[in-house]
Amino acid sequence: MSSVRDEGKDRIIFVTKEDHATPSSAELVEEDPDDPYEERGLILPSGEINWNCPCLGGMASGPCGTEFKDAFSCFHYSKEEVKGSECLEHFRAMQECIQRYPELYPQEDDKVQKEQSSETEPASQDSASAETPGADSTSATEPDSDSMPPNTEGSGDS
């Protein structure tokens, strides 16, 4: 026989082999093809944008949701030769909004640049000091003019 125990926000259910031996009595609900909240990807069968798609990463909600929707809609429905070329102002407004909320919309480029600069600063100093001896070593691998016999073929003494 199964037992149920609530611990805070969690409910723990212990089941026995006998519980698993009997067929399930759960009834599956038929999916409603007209459910507007059903996840169907970014573009719904009607051609409209599914603002609930997890692929948008929550950009459609939040303080810049309106700007994002305006810019994305403009691009999606664009008929221009260069798709979205008429949407520049919408994207500019969205970018300005995002820059007003850096704690909500961290810039990936900023993170990457900070990580790379902190990782490469010691290496760049090492490589700078390594380049100077490296330059000398490349010239050291070339034969010295003192150790080479003079080129007398083209001197014109004959």
pLDDT in tens, 35-48: 655 557 888 888 89
Whether the per-residue pLDDT at 134 is higher than 60: the answer is no
Which structure tokens are listed for 65? 């949701």
Q: What is the pLDDT of residue 36?
A: 59
The structure tokens 């919309």 sit at: 105
Q: 76 burial class (0-12, 13-18, 19+ CB within 10 angstroms)?
A: middle
pTM: 0.47
Whether the per-residue pLDDT at 84 is higher than 70: the answer is yes
| DSSP labels, 7-54 | ETTEEEEE--HHHHHSPP---PPPP-TT-TTS---SB-TTS-B-TT-G
